[in-house]
């Protein structure tokens, strides 16, 4: 998926929110790993913006400490000494004008010293309410357009909280910044196996001809976490599982699974096809939300606290921490194929997997010897194990003619020393190379919000009897009924040590 246009990619990488959780856990370790691998351009410098008083050495020592824990490997001392000089801590309040003037002066100075060609990436690792303010201030201070150089803005999620707010945010920022300079993050798009969806689909003649409603019975996307909200309660109260997972990561995975083959692998061609899938998602109605959607919130268990007792969560919170649903993609390829989604927090397993169930051959029941065959299943295991599982039917070894399923299982990251790159490494690299394929275009967001808004609108008057599942358990009972009434089951295999279902 890389179509980097050749240009000078030396630049200053400015992180707004550099004392935050995301910067510590993901961004700085990703930048360091890229540096270690020699993938960063000459002169690449990070300006880390925080609002607290910190000395340069203090900040650098702090990130050295947490990076060792996060990367969980030795960090070469000499390399770290070089790298630490590439990190410049700058104290600034996003809301104060003089902060931007100072930042601009600092950037010019670094540009001269480190030869960064005037190029800048601004990474907004901040709460969403700051996205527009920061872009506006950068614009007013003429920091978004400079002659003979490029400026890009990477924006974290969530982008809006429904269609109207997302549209307003988008209209406001695109007045100041062209669409091709905006890199809206959905970090799932940087994951190894998500990238692999295209290779699997379009690189194997055994799949693509069958990838439609004639041969596929149903699709499942399962994305569960063992963790609760931890210290992100105030963020999660505003998003819940629907805005935290479904609107972005899950719909992005679905659009890659279901899209038509793009004319080429350029950013625009891929996103042109993905957006058509989102456009074709059937909106929810009051009726379908009742029959096809189950939401939930975790209550306490012997081991874990209830969601409502988590830090910075309201005692009578109605936030959903779980969702299971059935939906359809109303187009020629997928008409009639149900798509089932199962996602939530504080469940018994951490997993993300995409399950493609093929139909059984129509004549198969004529042969009594075939009575134990199962439908073919392809599972794309996204995390924590990355790999592919495929179930086929074969004759079992021996003199009897007994046919049954066997499982072929390929785990990409199980071997010793086989670390896949972190999603953020890839995303930073792609933004440096001006490749937008792994970032969400506005129209993709627009249609995903339309779908999500239809869900919220349709259940407006429903009474949510929360909590309705035990922390660390399997999720609400009616999530199982939702799929079982269609004579199907949530997929529980695929090489993982799975105790979810």
Binding site for ligand NAP (CB under 6 A): 17-22, 50-52, 93-95, 125-128, 156-157, 235
Q: Which of 178, 228, 206 is nearest to 436 (CA)?
A: 178
* DSSP structure string for 226-267: S---TT-HHHHHHHHHIIIIIIIIIHHHHHHHHPPPPSSSSH
How far, in Å, CA of 275 to CA of 282, rounded?
A: 14
> Minimum distance from CB of 25 to ligand NAP (Å)?
6
> Minimum distance from CB of 114 to ligand NAP (Å)?
24
> Minimum distance from CB of 345 to ligand NAP (Å)?
13
Active-site residue, 249 included: yes
3-state helix, strand, coil in the chain (%, to 5): 40, 20, 40
The active-site residue, picked from 64, 139, 187, 249, is 249
Q: Which two tokens stand for residue 267?
A: 């950013």
| Cβ-based nearer residue to ligand NAP, 47 or 125 | 125
Q: Which residue intervals of 389-495 are DSSP H helices?
A: 423-432, 442-458, 477-484
> Minimum distance from CB of 438 to ligand NAP (Å)?
15
Q: Which two tokens stand for residue 10?
A: 């030396």
How far, in Å, CA of 239 to CA of 320, rounded?
A: 9
| Cβ-based nearer residue to ligand NAP, 32 or 131 | 131
With beta carbons less than 8 A apart as the criterion, state whether 279 and 271 touch.
no
* DSSP structure string for 367-434: SGGGTT----EEEEEEESS-EEEEEEEEEPSSSS--EEEEEEEEESS-STT-PPPPHHHHHHHHHHTT
| Cβ-based nearer residue to ligand NAP, 80 or 235 | 235
> Minimum distance from CB of 385 to ligand NAP (Å)?
21
Give me the residue label for tokens 């358990």: 473
How far, in Å, CA of 272 to CA of 267, rounded?
A: 9
| Cβ-based nearer residue to ligand NAP, 126 or 220 | 126
> Minimum distance from CB of 321 to ligand NAP (Å)?
16
Residues in the chain: 501
Q: Tally the C-alpha atoms within 13 A of residue 115's C-alpha that lie toward its C-beta.
A: 4
Residues with catalytic roles: 249
């Amino acid at each position: 998926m890389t179509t980097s246009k050749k240009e000078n990619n030396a630049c200053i990488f400015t992180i707004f929110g550099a004392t935050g959780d995301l910067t510590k856990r993901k961004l700085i370790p990703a930048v360091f790993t890229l540096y270690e691998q020699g993938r960063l351009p000459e002169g690449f410098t990070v300006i880390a913006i925080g609002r607290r008083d910190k000395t340069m050495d203090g900040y650098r020592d702090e990130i050295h400490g947490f990076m060792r824990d996060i990367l969980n490997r030795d960090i070469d001392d000499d390399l770290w000494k070089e790298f630490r000089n590439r990190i410049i801590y700058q104290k600034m309040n996003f809301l104060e004008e003089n902060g931007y003037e100072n930042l601009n002066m600092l950037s010019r100075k670094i540009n001269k010293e480190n030869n960064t060609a005037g190029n800048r990436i601004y990474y907004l690792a901040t709460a969403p309410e700051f996205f527009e303010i920061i872009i506006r201030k950068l614009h007013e201070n003429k920091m978004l357009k400079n002659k003979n150089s490029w400026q890009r803005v990477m924006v974290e999620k969530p982008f809006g909280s429904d269609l109207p707010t997302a549209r307003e945010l988008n209209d406001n920022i695109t007045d100041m910044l062209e669409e091709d300079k905006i890199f809206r993050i959905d970090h799932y798009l940087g994951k190894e196996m998500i990238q692999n969806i295209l290779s699997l689909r379009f690189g194997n003649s055994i799949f693509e001809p069958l990838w439609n409603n004639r041969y596929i019975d149903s699709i499942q996307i399962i994305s569960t976490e063992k963790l609760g909200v931890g210290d992100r309660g105030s963020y999660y109260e505003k998003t819940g599982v629907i805005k935290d997972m479904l609107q972005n990561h899950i719909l992005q995975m679905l659009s890659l699974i279901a899209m038509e083959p793009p004319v080429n692998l350029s950013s625009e061609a891929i996103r042109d096809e993905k957006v058509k899938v989102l456009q074709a998602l059937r909106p929810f109605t009051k009726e379908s939300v009742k029959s096809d959607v189950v939401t939930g919130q975790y209550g306490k268990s012997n081991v874990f606290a209830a969601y409502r007792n988590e830090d910075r969560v309201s005692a009578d919170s109605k936030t959903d921490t779980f969702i299971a649903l059935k939906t359809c993609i109303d187009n020629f390829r997928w008409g009639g194929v149900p798509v089932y989604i199962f996602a939530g927090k504080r469940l018994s397993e951490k997993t993300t997997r995409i399950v493609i169930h093929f139909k059984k051959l129509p004549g198969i029941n004529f042969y009594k010897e075939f009575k134990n065959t199962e439908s073919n299943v392809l599972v794309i295991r996204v995390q924590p194990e990355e790999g592919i599982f495929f179930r086929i039917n074969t004759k079992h070894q021996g003199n009897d003619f007994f046919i049954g399923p066997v499982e072929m299982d390929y785990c990409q990251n199980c071997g010793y020393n086989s670390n896949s790159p972190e999603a953020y490494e890839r995303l930073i690299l792609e933004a440096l190379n001006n490749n937008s394929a792994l970032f969400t275009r506005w129209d993709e967001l627009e249609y995903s919000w339309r779908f999500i808004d239809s869900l919220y609108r349709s259940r407006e008057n429903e009474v949510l009897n929360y909590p309705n599942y035990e922390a660390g358990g399997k999720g609400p009972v009616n999530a199982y009924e939702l799929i079982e009434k269609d004579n199907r089951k949530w997929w529980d295999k695929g090489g993982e040590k799975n105790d979810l279902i």
